[in-house]
Amino acid sequence: MSVNSKLYEGKAKILYTTDNPEILLADFKDDATAFNAQKRGSIVGKGIINCSISSHLFQHLEAQGIKTHYIDSPAANQMRVKAVKIVPVEVVVRNIAAGSLCQQTGLPLGTVLKQPLVEFYYKNDELGDPLLTRDRLQLMELATEEQVATITNLALQINKYLQGFWQQCGITLVDFKLEFGLDSQYEVILADEISPDTCRLWDATVDDPNLRVMDKDRFRRDLGNVENAYQEVLQRVLKAVESNK
């Protein structure tokens, strides 16, 4: 596989074209951003860690019948993926109240939701990635009604599978962000990444609300030990993967 030219650079990854138009190369960066890139920094080793975690989780989901854009990982911080047309909507699944859900609803931090909450946010930095209703999704023609139904169903399935996996790791899946794309057959498949950058993860063995944080909230909230937390998540993922063989 030869790498041709840079196709796109986002906050966490660079996408390159390859000699196969249906395959892209994703290069995971150490750059860290928060609050719509108002806060910027770097997390040492983040690219390698997130690429490894994402690769294992995509393979885990594929084994459960969830189609993803993952192909393989040719280098520690690189992933070969299927070229997809990204649906410009961030899908957030919440199991426990945290972050903006607490800020916008007044729910106490840590409130366990009676059922998972699926939310849609418009991928638009200039507008601040606003929360969308399903009617607004239809109005803006960001996805068809059928695609929204498919995405919602997939998000709930993925949540179920990931909750079980993270429990094996001694980690509670509080909430997480997903992105979906349309493949060459116009089928909706899971894309982007699944990592401490996109998941809110709490150490299930720790009660202290600050010490239990194992995700990008450590960077957002200046809690320190960010690299250590990411590395600990990776080690637990690798241990769980090994035990499942």
Task: Kindly report, residue by residue over 192-233, the tens digit of the pLDDT.
Answer: 999 999 999 999 999 999 999 999 999 999 999 999 999 999
Q: At what angle do helices 46-63 and 145-168 cross, to 10 degrees?
A: 110
Element (H, E) at 78: strand 78-82
DSSP 124-172: -GGGT--EE-HHHHHHTTSS-HHHHHHHHHHHHHHHHHHHHHHHHTTEE
Q: What is the pLDDT of residue 1?
A: 56
Encode pLDDT of 38-83 as tens digits: 778 889 999 999 999 999 999 999 999 999 999 999 999 999 999 9
Sign of CA dihedral 31, 34, 36, 38: negative
> Confidence class of residue 37 from pLDDT cuts 50, 70 and 90?
low
**Beta-bridge partners for 155:** none
Position 32 scores a pLDDT of: 87
pLDDT in the model for residue 18? 95
| Domains delineated in the chain | 3-82 (3.30.200.20), 85-225 (3.30.470.20)
Query: Which of 1-15, 71-85, 159-173 comes out lowest in average pLDDT?
Result: 1-15
pTM of the model as a whole: 0.95
**Distance of alpha carbon 113 from its chain centroid, rounded?**
20
Greater confidence (104 vs 32) lies with 104
